């Protein structure tokens, strides 16, 4: 199942390796970036005692953030 990734988190329109406009964007997707920020916040808040399903929960938060952006 394919998820909407929200596109690149930090898009780059220039390919620094070839010195020409980039054909694709490289790097982290916006979904991954949102999930990593959710994970960071949950870990530092100390509210995550049970780590089972932790990553899944972070991606669920990221998916909700992407959906909210579309409104």
> For 29-59, what is each residue's pLDDT tens digit?
899 999 999 999 988 887 766 667 788 889 9
12 in a structural domain:
no
Task: Look at residue 65 in the predicted model and tell me its pLDDT.
Answer: 93
Q: Pick the closest to residue 7 from 35, 27, 37, 23 (CA basis).
A: 27
61 in a structural domain:
yes
2 in a structural domain:
no
- Domain with 43, as residue range(s), is 28-69
The total number of structural domains that make up the chain: 1
Q: Pick the closest to residue 8 from 22, 27, 35 (CA basis).
A: 27
19 in a structural domain:
no
* Integer Rg of the chain from CA: 15
What are the pLDDT digits (tens) for 57-71? 899 999 999 999 888
14 in a structural domain:
no
pTM beyond 0.85, yes or no? no
Phi, psi angles (nearest 5°) of residue 57 = -65, -40
């Amino acid at each position: 199942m394919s998820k909407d990734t929200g596109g690149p988190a930090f898009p780059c329109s220039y390919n620094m390796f070839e010195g020409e406009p980039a054909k694709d964007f490289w790097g982290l997707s916006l979904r991954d970036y949102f999930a990593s920020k959710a994970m960071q916040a949950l870990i530092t808040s100390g509210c995550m005692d049970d780590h089972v399903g932790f990553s899944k929960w972070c991606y669920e938060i990221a998916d909700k953030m992407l959906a909210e952006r579309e409104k």
